[in-house]
Amino acid sequence: MGLLLVVGMGRPPIKLMEKNKMEEYQSKLYDYKETGIKPFDWGNYNESQTKEKFLFFHLLKELLETVDKTSDQHLSKAGTARSYYNQIFTMCLKVYTQQSSRRLISDLRIYRQLGFINKSCHFNTITNYFNNRDLRVVLQYLIELSAIPLAQLERKFAVDASGIGAHQYEKWSDIRSVHKKHRMYKKVHIIYGVLSNVAVSCRVTKGTANDSPQFETLLKRCADNFDIEECSADMAYSSKKNLQAVIDVGGMPYIPFKSNAVGGGLGTWRKMYKYFKRNQDEFYRHYHLRSNAETGFFMIKKKFGEFVSFKSEIAQENEILCKVLCHNICCLIQEMFLQKLDVDFLSAIKKFSAQSQR
């Protein structure tokens, strides 16, 4: 009973950095030329990891409850995240704990006693939750909303895609160049903030889908909530349309050109081609921030698994979106300790709603 009382007390206060010091601190996050080493506080990181599970479900509860306090046009057809509260909480609990539906029932009863959910369910009902088509748009919305508190830190972004196995046979890293096997996977397209590895926006497609067509959609969703200083991506995204899209949102594109590319014509393509050829050392110094996208996928797969556990297309997609949402909440917890971040979902959702109506 003592554990229930401790966990049920609510999210503990975290000592925040003074506002007048935050601006100076933010500039140093990207400026570490003197040492060449990205600053990192292992003491605060260790504390964030030891308290992660305790904070995770408090933040998830706050996120779902906050959505109910404002109206949002994006969810008018699918309902509100609040109306799906128990479903989403249960789904994220399953993904975060990596348990089977049957073993999850005991946890659901515990979290019901703690007041996180108002009812537990049968283990077969959990499968029905994941098969709910309406939840796809709600989960995508929650992923974007959960990233907004980090808008005060993130200015540089990276886009990439990776596969999640629909059958537990081979890892995506082993078959990524074997295109005939891609049909057995789901492909996840994400734009990450390179400082915290938070997923700013996410789309799930078939494993055979191309990467480049997803770039502009992800970038525009990111630009709705973040100030984009630069955006990096690999050669798969190299096109005139994608380069111009980054320029249009006020950023600098760091997307390398393919070996057979030529710098003909006018406009952004030609300017970036000349810059790429004449300043390759500087270009690749910025471009290599793209490796943070690979780090983001590694974090998701290492913590929440490289495969999905459901058979239907809808359930697989919703499970992947839950993995990304859980990853974002873990990133928030880490930055609460590392950067003294104030996580205020109510302010975030008001900003999100205002910008979406532009």
| Domain 154-307 -> CATH class | alpha beta
Q: Each residue of 11-56: pLDDT tens digit?
A: 665 555 555 555 565 556 666 555 455 667 899 999 999 999 999 9
d(CA 44, CA 335): 9
* Domain coordinates in residue numbering, the chain: 42-148+313-358, 154-307
pLDDT for 168 equals 66
- HEC sequence for 324-341: HHHHHHHHHHHHHHHCCC
Q: Each residue of 179-194: pLDDT tens digit?
A: 667 778 899 999 999 9
Tokens of 243: 């380069």
Q: Which long-range contacts (CB under 8 A, 24 or more apart) does 104-112 make?
A: 110/4, 111/57
pLDDT for 16 equals 54
Element (H, E) at 21: helix 19-29
State how far Cα 341 lies from the chain centre.
Answer: 17
**Low-confidence residues in the chain, pLDDT < 70:** 1-39, 68-82, 168, 176-177, 179-180, 351-358
Determine phi and psi for 39, rounding to 5 degrees.
-65, 140
- 3-state secondary structure (DSSP) of residue 189: strand
Residue from 25, 50, 22 nearest 39 by CA: 25
